[in-house]
Each structure stands twice: as structure tokens, then as C-alpha cells.
Amino acid sequence: MINQARLVKTFTDLVRIDSESKNEIDVAIYIKNKLKKLGISYKIDSSKELTKSNHGNIIATLGKNKKYPTILLSSHMDTVTNGKSIKPIIKKNYITSDGRTILGADDKSGLAIILETLEVLKKSKLKHCNIEIAITTCEEIGLLGARYLDYKLLKAKEGIVLDSTSPERLVFKGPSSDYFNITIKGIEAHSGINPEHGLSSIAISAEIITKMKTGRINKNTTINIGRINGGSAVNIVPGQTEIMCEIRSHNERKIKSELSKIKKTLTAANKKYKKINKNFNASIKVNRIYNSINIPKNIFIIKSILSTCKDFNYKVDLVETGGGADANFFVQNGINTVNLGTGMREFHTTKEKLILKEFYQSANIVLNSLIVKS
């Protein structure tokens, strides 16, 4: 029932529209026009006041039959950078860009599947679950659209986010994530005249970093140092350095434990260097980005997806992930939301591609998981 040619056209239309984070307005106009043609009403929330995007999240509903469950479908409108003037190239088995840019399958493949699903169900007489859609902004810069979405506009208690790789992977469990910034305030001094009067924040940062365990800490925990900024000039002993990091884990106690070790390292640095200059300071600021998800395997949407895959002889596995998605915030707000792959690969790179067989398979899974079996 999925119209593959129409699905591909919708996808290629979408990726030709520039929509890097905070600049989603043009792709939002495309989606709203599609919804209007289908006779599906929609609302725009006020999230842009907090995300600083030029458009809010789009919320729409199809179906109001109280006998059937309400299921959320969601994807995000934004892409990462290097996403302007994308030219999709359709090949036999996949779609890619012309090599100058990303493709934008993350997450316009998900958007295309949602729009195709709505069109099939709207134009058919098939009995289906009530559907809510939440099309978000600013996912790529911290899940901001989902973070600030107006959840009072949604009634669904279960849902599907289409924002992963293979449709053979149904993500039901994911980690919490904290960003943490370490600030080292050293003492500036002229590097040639009186360097002994200074305390190099960069050198002390290096000392601290060597004592931090990074990479994979255990099966379900990772720590990464993503950026370092420090110093003002090559002839000045650097006064301040920022170390920007993240920790992800399925285990909250492990997050607390690892952060505690880092804090002890900073305490030791303060004890050591405040003896030299009382104005020295090493501090840490932790910011929770999103909470973990652990969806019960017996909820309606998981059972429906597994049943659909069995009917069509599709392989599918319930999997854990080390990444985050809008699903984390939906779960946090009472909507048990799984993440289904769409066929995207090597996303965020100029080698990004969308595997057509998997793209069609994902769309077929979504559609048939929403049809009410008599």
C-alpha cells in the first residue's frame, strides 16, 4: 500500500529544502502544505521562543476513534551543517548527495515516511489507530524542539520516532546524557618577562585530563572530551581554560560515580595550586541533557511492530543504543516511544546514503503497525 515512487519524491523534495538547525521554516511550510492538501489540521507550538528557531514544532492529529489507541509519530525537521543546496542522486539501491554536502536522510527519511503514512491512511478506508504527529525543530543541537515541545497538545501514551539506521533495529533502551564543563582559572603573566608569576590553565588542564578516564568506561557508559578552549595570546601564560565534556550511561549510579571521581581530581588540583596562588580555581558545571529510556517490551506499539515484522517476514531486534533522540524527551513526558530505523547510513557526513530497500521496509512497518487488525 506504500507508494514507493511517491515516498521517494517526498524525500527528495524535502532534502532539497535547506533546514539546518534553527532555520526550519521552509521545510515546515512544505509539511504544512502537505497536511492542508490532506485535510489534516495542525497546530504550531510556541517552542521557538526557547529554541530560537524560526519556526515552532508542528503537531497534527488523524483519527478520533475512542475504541483505538493513539500513537505518536515523530521526526525532526533540522539537519546538521553542510546541509545547504543538497542535490540528491537516486541510484539503483540507494540515494546519496552529489558528494558536496550531507544528504539529510537524518531525519527527512523519517518525515517522508510519516507524510506517506498519513496520505495512505487518509485516502483509504482502512481502520487505523488514532495518530498524533510531532514534527520537531533543533534536534541536532541538543533535542531542543522535543525538550521545549508543548506536551499539553499531545494525548498519546506510546509512539514511534523514526530517527535511526536499520529498520531491523527497534530501539527500546537508551542512556542518560550529561554535559559537563570544567573551568580552570589560572593566573595570567607575561610569558617572557615573568612566567613564574603565572599559573598556566592549559598546562593544569592537561594534568587534569591525564587523570580522567575517557572513551568506553564499561558496556553502557562513555565519557568524551569534545572541546577545549583556553588562552588569549601566545606570549601570555593562559589565565582560563574550558574543557567541554559529556558522559552517557544507562546507569545513573555510574554517572554519579564517574563525576565524583572527576570532582575529586579537581579538589586535589585546588588544594595543590591554591597554595601557590589563592585566586586559582578549578570547577565543574554539570547539565542534564536528557534522561535514559527503558520501554516495557509488552506495550501495544512494540507488540504491533513485532507482529507486523512477523507477518512480512522482516527481521527485527529490540536493541539498546548509546545515542539520544527526541524519544528521550517523549518518554520523560509520559509517552513510551521507541526509535525505528529508516535505512540511513553514514549520516552527518558527505558519504551519507539512504538504502531504498530499508526505507520502503520502514515505511511498510509503520503503516501496517497502525492498521487495526479485525
pLDDT of 34 over the 80 cut: yes
* Residue tagged active-site, from 106, 139, 178, 188: 139
Q: For the chain, how many residues are written?
A: 374
Q: Are β-strands 70-76 and 158-164 bridged in parallel, bridged antiparallel, or unpaired? A: parallel
Nearby residues of 210 by Cβ (< 8 Å), 6 or more positions away? none
C-alpha–C-alpha distance, residues 58 and 77, integer Å? 10
The percentage of the chain sitting over the pLDDT mark of 70, rounded to a whole number, equals 100
Architecture category of domain 4-174+292-370 in CATH: 3-Layer(aba) Sandwich (3.40)
* Residue tagged active-site, from 78, 116, 132, 163: 78
On whether the 177-288 domain is CATH 3.40.50.1360, my answer is: no
On average, the pLDDT of the chain sits at: 97
Helices (H), the chain: 4-15, 25-38, 48-51, 105-123, 144-147, 201-210, 252-273, 300-311, 326-332, 356-370
pLDDT of 187 over the 80 cut: yes
pLDDT of 1 over the 90 cut: no
C-alpha–C-alpha distance, residues 118 and 40, integer Å? 9
Stretch 15-36: mean pLDDT: 98
Q: What's the pLDDT score for residue 125?
A: 86
pLDDT in tens, 60-77: 999 999 999 999 999 999
- Let me know: does 211 contact 265? Beta carbons within 8 Å: yes
Q: What's the pLDDT score for residue 297?
A: 96
353-355 sheet: strands from edge to edge: 89-90, 94-96, 353-355, 344-345
3-class DSSP assignment, residue 347: coil
320 is annotated as an active-site residue: no
pLDDT in tens, 76-118: 999 999 999 999 999 999 999 999 999 999 999 999 999 999 9
Domain ranges of the chain: 4-174+292-370, 177-288
Q: pTM higher than 0.85 for the full model? A: yes
139 is annotated as an active-site residue: yes
Q: What's the pLDDT score for residue 42?
A: 98
pLDDT in tens, 236-291: 999 999 999 999 999 999 999 999 999 999 999 999 999 999 999 999 999 999 99
